[in-house]
A and B are shown apart, each in its own frame.
Chain A
Amino acid sequence: MIFLEDVWVNLRDFELRGITLSVSKGEYFIVMGPSGAGKTVLLQTILGIYKPWRGKIFIDGVDVTDYPPEKRGLSYVPQNYGLFPHMTVEENIAFGLKVRGYSRREVKRRVREIADVLGISHLLHRNPKTLSGGEQQRVALARALVVEPKAILLDEPLSALDYRTREEVIKFLQKLHSSLKFTAIHVTHDIVEALELGTRVALMFNGKVVYSGQLTEILCNPHYVGLLSSQGLVNFLEGKVVGFINGVLLVDLCGVVIKVKSTTKIGAGSRVLLAVNSGDLEIHKDSTGAGNVLRCRVEKMKYRLSYYEVLVRYNGIKLKVCASTREVKKLNLKPGDSVWVRIPEDCVKVVYS
């Protein structure tokens, strides 16, 4: 079990603020939040790279706050998998076992065993550079799991994969977890991943955990209902309140002020995290004259059987918009196009302020 008690970490340009979390043995725990929320810093703090100036970290009841990473018994899988490029796949997987002083025969046996489980036995003599993204990830997982860690820390493990591989890997991770029952902390900004893999989640924003609990509880909470719609795709937007008039918040998103319905008044100058469902965003070729529009550029389009996932960018903001096939055809949308994206004011939720 992993337990964080009021953990504060101060980095030069970022701060983790009072994180309290508990992850049970064998649990697949999700840490979710927009980029820049501090998810990776949190993971690396648990790993022992950053030292809290306040608070404690316990692993299996032992206070490991002052332990170096190698004494914590956690395995880390970074976003780019971190395979050692000067070693073969077999040497990569064997690394942790050799460090622990296992006999050569035992190392070989365990490597073969885990390679079998992950279906990578045919890759053992390959150089990591020659592997596909999905293969690299399996190797990284094998290397992390072979040492039988107390928990495995996964930093956005699916973000570098294409859509199809991602779906496969999600299924694979589900199967692997149900058979090996390892404890995992999985960092993601993708609600789909969270929903498919975890049961409990910590939602992070601006260095703080703003919600921690059952994903199902979030679904029952009116505050988060809008956040997780039938599509399960949510955009997190960080903004700054500039005013509050008659139950409507005025929020500055990188230079454009949008209206957001809110029952509570939030003072001007406060930073807020907004959530808007990708299915609720409207895409137009010209400005409709209505408010709450962002002039965006289409970056990518992914076809997802019944709809298109359109990735658009406005200044520093990236948005996912779900558009029907009919809509995409009607607008003749393609990457590079300039579009207007409308955020209906009653569809935006203030998740945190």
Chain B
Amino acid sequence: MIQIYNLEKSFGNNKVLDHLQAQFPSGQISGIVGKNGAGKTTLFQCIAGIEDFEGDIVSPHQKVKDRLGYLATSPYMLSRITGREYIQLIANARGEKISEIDEKNIFDLPLNRYCNQYSTGMKKKLALTAIMLVENDYYLLDEPFSGVDLESNIIIQAIIQKLKKLNKTVIISSHIYNTLTQVCDSISILEEGRITQKVAEGDYDQLASILEDSTVDQLVNILF
């Protein structure tokens, strides 16, 4: 469980998160949607402790970051490091030993190739593999489905469902609305730095109508 109270974050004069309140229970998959620049990634970085913030982020564990698997939108890769070494690096950082990496390479990644030369989807799959191979209780998955092929998307969905069964706390941000509704128990809408609405699984039709923008046609017509 992660509880957020009055979370505020600004970059200069730009207030990105504004008294944000949220609860993300364990054993549930929580989705977050919002326009580009709504503050989803900033929210994730605040939860991870990568960004400083004002307000409170509370969890049963004192140090969330040591039990947190964070998948960034564009996972960071280092040059001249192979996929295998990337996984080793993450395991070393957590003080864990990983054996039989090849058997656990479920995405069939070329682990002896330099990971910064991977495609966008391969980088995402490598980063996801690495955080799944170390012990975590919380997962922040920023756009886990984007740039990934269909087969891998299905595997990622299955991984997320497995995390739910293991009673982990999973928070996903995605622009791929259909996939999000398939895996999430609830979806929160992030607008202007606040969670403006939280919709439960049975009410996703309602969410579709909220997100549907009647001005889209008008905007497109301006171009043509």
A and B form one complex:
no
Binding site for B on A (CB under 8 A): none
